[in-house]
Amino acid sequence: MRHHDCLIDGLEQPAADGRTIEMLSPSDGRTIATVARGGAAEVDAAVRAARQALETGPYGRLAAVERGRILSRMAAVVTARHAELAELEAEDCGKPMAQAKTDITCLARYLEFYGGAADKVHGLQIPFLGDWLVTGLREPHGVTAHIIPWNYPAQIFGRSVGAALAMGNACVLKPAEDAGLTCLEVARLALECGLPPGALNVVTGYGEEAGAALSKHDDIDFISFTGSPEIGTAIQTAAAQRTIGCTLELGGKSAQLVFADADLEKALPVIVNAIIQNGGQTCSAGSRVLIEASVFEQVATRLAERFSALRVGTHAMDLDLGPLINRQQEERVRRFVGRAADLPLLAEGRLAPDLPAGGHYAVPRLYGPVPAGHALAQEEVFGPVLVAMPFQDEAEAVRLANGTAFGLVAGLWTRDGGRQMRVARRLRAGQVYVNGYGAGGGIELPFGGVKRSGHGREKGFEALYEFSQLKTIAFNHG
Ligand code: ADP
């Protein structure tokens, strides 16, 4: 049985009290590894190591170009070990292999992107009066805390830690208790790639122990959180208590709008993939499809055909969907399906035969027409459930799309150029795709929410600004 300790100051360290957490396979419930059950003591050691790395260690003195080179080397090593890391990610998260391979490709791409960007963040020069020269320096926050979920550990490691290191922060990462083995592996690889000890520390543990201790630690300077809206509120409260900043990437109930003139051949596979990817356990899942009334029957029928053909199996079977992550997720999805008993079920996929008893499987389901106020049209299921809703005109489409508490991503399908621009501008979401959805992992594209979906932007160059702050220095030269 594999065991992984915390990684603190470049060293593997067990929890002080020796406790561990079993990491279970979502596919069959087997224990695939144990990790240290870190808590307040390990978090404190990790934060101290990060602070020391910045203030007295070699890390704090590294030039931006050197940090970039380390990230670029990490990208190369991740690429060289792609197959092995993809297998680990698939087993740990229960992802179909094809999805896990994509995730590792995205991880390498984040490291490549931020490796290349590290020495390209320029500051400002501001014209000011006559005898002043004013410059704005982009400085790292200092010690950044990264609390991440189990749905895309490798990708979220890449986008969060990659950007923070590129800007010169020292990081403490708390992966989720349900999956995060790739994070530990890649953090170890980072040391081999020349990242000085203490620059990146990983504390494994439960959210209410290690996560809460990290978010409340009095020597962190910034928190990057991806997870549920409820815990997001707790994180922001902890940040507010110490007056530090945070980015929150929370849930969504993202809509895809299909107008009557849409290219359906192109749209349908993308719409289906946007909800079944990772079993619907994706913050940006396209979980509502809004269809112009004149083509509702036609589009719903064609979506239903595709849903009926979907298959669910273990990660190794590599079918359309893998299992859900754990029992709580399985129960959550089952509860939503129970609440959908009054809705027309248009189609459902099928389970592969002879699935292991200990796995957490749910078939994908398509419901419609679903009233706008129904729980399934308003709340995040975080599972493979798509609701279809008709709209009469552009105004109603926008009203329905914006009519939830969330605002993460939206997609719209139409050939009408004017409508593309009008609707894209009126949608309240952090990202809008026109004739597409969530393309290629979106490494370069600023990502984040409005409303209950959170605030702050990750990914792309924008994340480098989130992980830094501007210092204004004004020189009077007389
Ligand atoms: P999910 O519903 O996706 O599991 P959570 O918000 O519960 O989302 O978890 C996301 C991350 O937040 C995980 O790493 C988890 O351990 C951590 N977490 C959970 N509870 C807390 C908490 N009270 N304080 C800090 N972190 C937490």
- Kindly list the averaged pLDDT for each block of 10 residues, start to end, along the chain of length 478: 96 97 98 98 98 98 98 98 98 98 98 98 94 97 98 98 98 98 98 98 98 98 97 98 98 97 98 98 98 98 98 98 98 98 98 97 98 98 98 98 98 98 98 93 96 98 98 97
Closest CA to 233 of 161, 201, 223: 223
- Residue closest by Cα to atom 16 of ligand 1: 207
Strand pairing of 350-351 and 311-312? parallel
Please list the residues that pair with 226 across neighbouring strands: 249
For residue 205 and ligand 1, the question of a CB distance below 6 A is answered with no
Report the separation in Å between the CA atom of 152 and the middle of ligand 1, taken as the mean of its atom positions.
14
Rounded CA gap, 176 and 227, in Å? Answer: 9
Report the separation in Å between the CA atom of 434 and the middle of ligand 1, taken as the mean of its atom positions.
32
Report the separation in Å between the CA atom of 148 and the middle of ligand 1, taken as the mean of its atom positions.
7
**In the chain, ranges of CATH 3.40.309.10 domains:** 255-442
Site to probe by mutation for ligand 1, drawn from 43, 147, 226 as the one with most ligand atoms within 8 Å of Cβ, is: 147
Rg (CA), the chain: 23
**In the chain, ranges of CATH 3.40.605.10 domains:** 2-250+455-474
Q: At what angle do helices 64-80 and 153-166 cross, to 10 degrees?
A: 160
> Quick check: is 379 catalytic?
no
Length of the chain: 478
Q: From the CA of 150, give the closest atom in ligand 1.
A: 3
Please tell me the predicted confidence (pLDDT) of residue 188.
98
For residue 247 and ligand 1, the question of a CB distance below 6 A is answered with no
Please tell me the predicted confidence (pLDDT) of residue 293.
98
Say which residues have a Cβ less than 8 Å from residue 201's Cβ, sequence separation at least 6. 6, 7, 8, 9, 46, 47, 49, 50, 170, 171, 172, 173, 187
> What one-letter code names the amino acid at 290?
L
CA angle 443, 164, 248 (to 5 degrees): 75
* Overall fold of domain 255-442: Aldehyde Dehydrogenase; Chain A, domain 2 (3.40.309)
Say which residues have a Cβ less than 8 Å from residue 428's Cβ, sequence separation at least 6. 402, 407, 450, 451
User: Token pair for residue 266?
Assistant: 């192109």
Buried b (16+ CB within 10 A) or exposed e, 100-123: bbbbbbbbbbbbbbbbebbeebee
For residue 234 and ligand 1, the question of a CB distance below 6 A is answered with yes
DSSP code, position 30: -
Q: DSSP of 451-468, one letter per residue?
A: GGGEES-BSTTHHHHHTE
Rounded CA gap, 447 and 394, in Å? Answer: 25
Say which residues have a Cβ less than 8 Å from residue 170's Cβ, sequence separation at least 6. 50, 51, 53, 54, 59, 60, 142, 143, 144, 198, 199, 200, 201
Please tell me the predicted confidence (pLDDT) of residue 347.
98
Please tell me the predicted confidence (pLDDT) of residue 470.
97
> What one-letter code names the amino acid at 478?
G
> Quick check: is 305 catalytic?
no
For residue 177 and ligand 1, the question of a CB distance below 6 A is answered with yes
Rounded CA gap, 365 and 343, in Å? Answer: 11
Q: DSSP of 286-346, one letter per residue?
A: --EEEEEGGGHHHHHHHHHHHHHT-EE--TTTT-SB---SSHHHHHHHHHHHHHTTTS-EE
For residue 149 and ligand 1, the question of a CB distance below 6 A is answered with yes
**Sign for the pseudo-dihedral over CA of 229, 235, 238, 242:** negative
Cα 376 → chain centroid: 22
Q: From the CA of 175, give the closest atom in ligand 1.
A: 14
Rounded CA gap, 114 and 137, in Å? Answer: 19
Report the separation in Å between the CA atom of 450 and the middle of ligand 1, taken as the mean of its atom positions.
20
Rounded CA gap, 36 and 412, in Å? Answer: 45
Determine contact, residues 200/194, Cβ cutoff 8 Å: no
Residue 335: Cβ within 10 Å count: 13
Hey, is 257 helix, strand or coil? strand
For residue 147 and ligand 1, the question of a CB distance below 6 A is answered with yes
Determine contact, residues 184/91, Cβ cutoff 8 Å: no
Domain 2-250+455-474 in this protein, CATH class = alpha beta
